[in-house]
Amino acid sequence: MTAVATPVRGTRVTRAVGLVAVACALALAAGCAGPAGTDGDLTDDWAAMPAPKPYQPTAPACFTDDLQASIRLPEPVDCQRGHRMETFFSGTFTGADAARTTTPPTGSAERRRAFEQCMTATTTFLGDDWRNGRLELTMTVASQQHWEGGGRWFRCDLVVRDENGYGDIATRVASLKGTLAGDRPMARGCNPATENAANRIEFKPGVPCTQPHDAEYAGFFVAPDGAFPVDTASNKKLADDGCRGVVAAYTGLPNDRYLNNRTGYLFDYFVAAQWALGDRSVGCYVWPRVSVSRSLKGAGPGALPIK
């Protein structure tokens, strides 16, 4: 703890100030003039202080904070150091979206339009749709306090999710820029996986599809706009029906009643917070129920016969 010295307000200080005041009064009474070359006005030659600008997040920038970070982030760190979140885009509400008196609420059209900008920006930043990577895209909007102070910002953030089946946030030591282009180091692909005692699939780190693996990413399904499927059964059915078509198209299999006899498939669940932003997607994986050492993309009925 740093000690802070506090001035002692004593009689000697009061007297000193009083003497200075008397001296100044006597000087004025005697008609004293200011120094040569001055007009005695101490303010007319000073430049006006600039009007304070509303806070705007810095982008691109990396932070040690995760998704629970405060609305106003601390100082960024070098992206070559360990960090848990990367702000890649900082936008501003404009036009009618900025004219409202309160910050746009969750699920509002204003927030969805802002999130569309995040999705467009992330494709440019990463080199492909973020949903094809082991990534999560989120958006933070100016608080009501910031909004009342003139802030109209929104911030687009990316985090990496561990491939452990639990969605833990990973720590990185490099920027995510361009990681879904070229050799695509952050792309979803083929994973060894096991089913635990609770019938939960646990993914292990990705491997080349020529090495033994149990699951292969097939793409993502985007549900039609509408009410969020609150109960687990309707959430699962919507994801199941959607991923069924994604997996059939990816593997070159007919999407008929025999699909489940050829291969299984895995899918994520829809998340309410993402749905409210306009992200109604889930990831879909081929699950052939046996370990394979090849990609099943376009494999067709010959490689995946009815069992």
The C-alpha atoms of residue 218 and residue 266 are separated, in whole angstroms, by 10
Per-residue pLDDT band for 70 (boundaries 50, 70, 90) equals low
What is the model's pLDDT at position 242?
Answer: 97
What is the model's pLDDT at position 51?
Answer: 62
Per-residue pLDDT band for 44 (boundaries 50, 70, 90) equals low
pLDDT at 25 over 80: no
Strand residue runs (E) in 181-261: 190-191, 193-195, 201-203, 215-222
What is the model's pLDDT at position 142?
Answer: 92
**Mean per-residue pLDDT over the chain, rounded:** 84
pLDDT at 210 over 50: yes
What is the model's pLDDT at position 75?
Answer: 82
pLDDT (average), residues 139-147? 92
pLDDT tens-digit profile of 108-132?
Answer: 999 999 999 999 999 999 999 999 9
Q: How many CA atoms lie within 13 A of 17 on its CB side?
A: 5
pLDDT tens-digit profile of 217-275?
Answer: 999 999 999 999 999 999 999 999 999 999 999 999 999 999 999 999 999 899 999 99
Residues 6+ apart with CB under 8 A from 106: 273, 276
Determine contact, residues 65/39, Cβ cutoff 8 Å: no
Cβ-in-10-Å burial (0-12, 13-18, 19+) of 11 comes to exposed
Instruction: State how far the alpha carbon of 36 is from the alpha carbons of 24, 30, 39, 191, 283, in Å.
Output: 18, 17, 8, 83, 79
The verdict on pTM exceeding 0.85 is: no
What is the model's pLDDT at position 199?
Answer: 79
pLDDT at 35 over 60: no
> Using omega within 30 degrees of 0 as the cis cutoff, is the peptide bond preceding 60 cis?
yes
pLDDT (average), residues 85-91? 95
What is the model's pLDDT at position 149?
Answer: 92
